[in-house]
Amino acid sequence: MPPPTLARDKALGWPGQIAASLWAIAVYGGLYARGGALERRVLLAGVLIAGRGECCLSLRWGLCDYQLHNVPPFAPPGPALLMTSGLMTAGRMPPWAVPAVPCAAAPWTLAGACQGWDTAGAPCACCSSCA
């Protein structure tokens, strides 16, 4: 089962992409409003870097294949939302929880790789877990 935003996009076409994009924008706005200066910089930089990456890697190189042949507006905020939510919650987590997060994400990552709806998750998880 792909992530909720991709599932909506895949199942509902344009209406799904619009709904997923509105959800991502709302979450982005909420994190931006609650975050401090560091979190706001991470959000902005993340969207700019991911947006450029999506345009180059998806549209030019064909690395990601979106069904509507565009970069969905919900895609660039994704990495920024993940990074910022991690920054905002990591300081409140007990020390043992930080290494537990990649372990908890491993089944989802493996499922995506095995079922074919996430081709980059496993390599990224390996790189980030070793860093």
| Residue 129 and residue 99 in one domain | yes
**Do 72 and 103 reside in the same domain of the chain?**
no
State percent of the chain over pLDDT 90. Answer: 9
Report the distance separating Cα 113 and Cα 100, nearest Å.
20
| Residue 99 DSSP SS3 | helix
60 pLDDT tier (thresholds 50, 70, 90): confident
Determine the structural domain holding residue 61 and report its residue range. 4-92
Per-residue confidence band for 127, with pLDDT thresholds at 50, 70 and 90: low
pLDDT over 90 at 56, yes or no: no
In angstroms, what is the C-alpha Rg of the chain? 15
Q: pLDDT (tens digit, 9 = 90+) per residue, 3-39?
A: 566 666 667 788 888 888 898 899 989 989 988 898 8
Residues 69 and 126 in one domain: no
Write the CA distances from 128 to 87, 101, 102, 122, integer angstroms.
15, 12, 9, 10
Helix axis angle, 121-130 to 97-115, nearest 10°: 160
| Confidence check: pLDDT of 129 > 60 | no
Domain identity same for 23 and 75? yes
